[in-house]
Chain A
Amino acid sequence: MRTDGIAAALAHVERLDGLARADSLAGRLDPRAKLATTLAFLVTVASYGRYQVTALLPLALFPVAILTLGDVPLAPILIRVALVSPLAILVGIFNPILDPSPIGSLGPFVITAGWASFASILVRFALSVSAALLLVATTGLDAVCAALSRFRVPRVLVVQLLFLYRYLFVLFGEVSRTLRAYALRSPSHPVPRVREAGALLGQVLLRTLSRAQRVHAAMLCRGFDGELRLRRPLRARSADVAFVVTWFAFFALSRAFDLPRLLGNAVAGAVR
């Protein structure tokens, strides 16, 4: 049944926190160092030209390094990247049709601008998503949020992010229970039709609202005044500084020079 499929998908998307060993090298780094480096990584990835593919590849060193330093299992990260990949495919899928001008060749194959930009989108997507996932896996979203608030990100946003993460699965649970209840009483149409979907969605929204009110009431009862006080003593050590400096230098280097091409030329020169 479809709702079971949703439940199974949910089980896959389970929490990222705790994937990395807390006592791993990456786990011990200051959350601010990891957050700043990951942000710099994302900006670097986004800054490449739309047809650049190979020049991006050295950047994969960053997620690979975090994966290794954090003892993070590879499979859960890959599954999550795959789960959200349809989005990236959707964004770029028409590029090969819309932009068929040739820009190079790979042996007998002509590479068109469309295919290059499509590949570039996929590579950037894989790099960005895996880096973001690894940040949460090695740091925990609460520590990421503590770091965000130290970076003076507005408190409302930080609190919303924390709550989204905490209640995402409670809400998914409500959606999947609603769909199951529907499917059990509608054996011939287990998937809601459009006109019923509106009512179901309305139900879920109302339940979400009343849960939000209960959560808020529970918070008020414990003295909540709009400020979420996280107890996360953040201490930057020299290792954190070294981490940030090294990676920033590496990102700048990869952005300034096309490392794979330089390497290729060097190897070709040596062979000659």
Chain B
Amino acid sequence: MSHHLVSLSDVVFDYPDGTPALRGVSFAIHHGESVGLVGANGAGKSTILLHLAGVLLPRSGEVRVGDWPVTPKTLAQVRRSLGFVFQDPDDQLFSPSVGDDVAFGPLNLGLPDDVVEERVVYALERAGATALRPRPPYRLSGGEKRAAAIASVLSMSPDVLVMDEPSAGLDPAARRRLIGLLRSFEHTKVVATHDLDLVLEVCARTIVLRDGRVAADGPTASIFSDEALLSDCHLEKPLRLQSCPRCGPR
């Protein structure tokens, strides 16, 4: 088995209208790592995530997840080991009840009913969503929908959790709960987000993207203290690292 759980080697991708989206992206993520993917709008964050799940396939270069290169033939294996939490939970939760949605993945894996049930109970509990089980997804609050969406991928027991803007649209308390939840997961995590404070709390490593290329890759603390890099990539220091407007500079 490869010691890299997720890797991209020189991945190039253009959108159907010809706009280049990724211009040779390479990085490797190890078991248990928690990686923040940051960058300006259109830098290529979501495109990379979609490549990991095999929703998009590169024009050239290779994407590997676990032991598998991501190709049309290996999609089933790749998706078994990768849990993708989409940005808009409404895109992800389509079943009549949260319980059904959490069972959707395990049922597709062809697991027997009692194992499906175990998985559902476990995933809901891990995501703090046990009470939501009988409720229809369209009646949930933003934070509840997010928790349900996370449970719906946890039930597949993925090795890697991939999340697109997990804190978008959440109120501060729901966002705080989400951060606590993400910190409690021992999975390998890849989080694409503009919420740099979340990255600071959840991810030890950060990859900065600019115009479809990796602009920087390193420990989160050192990346976020490089103000020139951040401003060059349309980012700014997380609020927690900025000086307090009342107490003055740190």
Contact = CB atoms under 8 A, between A and B. Distances in A.
B217 to A, nearest CB: 25
B138 interface: yes
Nearest to A215: B91
Interface of B: 50, 53, 55, 75-76, 79-80, 82-84, 86, 88, 90-92, 94-97, 100, 103-105, 107-109, 113, 116, 136, 138, 152-153, 156
A270 interface: no
B100 A142 contact: yes
Contacts of A229: 104, 107-108
A222 B50 contact: no
Interface in A211-256: 211, 214-215, 217-225, 229-231
Interface residues of A, number: 27
Contact of B94 (A18, A141, A219, A231): A219
B105 A218 contact: no
Contact of A224 (B83, B108, B113): B108
6 contacts: A142-B96, A166-B95, A214-B88, A217-B91, A221-B82, A223-B108
Contacts, number: 78
A62 interface: no
Nearest to B94: A166
A230 B91 contact: no
A21 interface: no
Given A141-B96, A231-B116, A221 B136 contact: no
Interface in A138-195: 140-142, 162-163, 166-167, 169-170
Interface in A1-29: 15, 17-18
Nearest to A219: B94
Contact of B84 (A140, A162, A211, A218): A218
Contact of A221 (B84, B94, B97, B100): B84
Given A18-B136, A221-B82, A230-B100, 9 more contacts: A142-B95, A166-B94, A170-B90, A217-B55, A220-B53, A220-B55, A222-B104, A222-B108, A223-B156
Nearest to A169: B138
Contacts of A170: 90, 138
A142 B91 CA distance: 18
A17 B75 CA distance: 36
Contacts of B103: 231
A149 to B, nearest CB: 14
B80 A223 contact: yes
B50 to A, nearest CB: 7
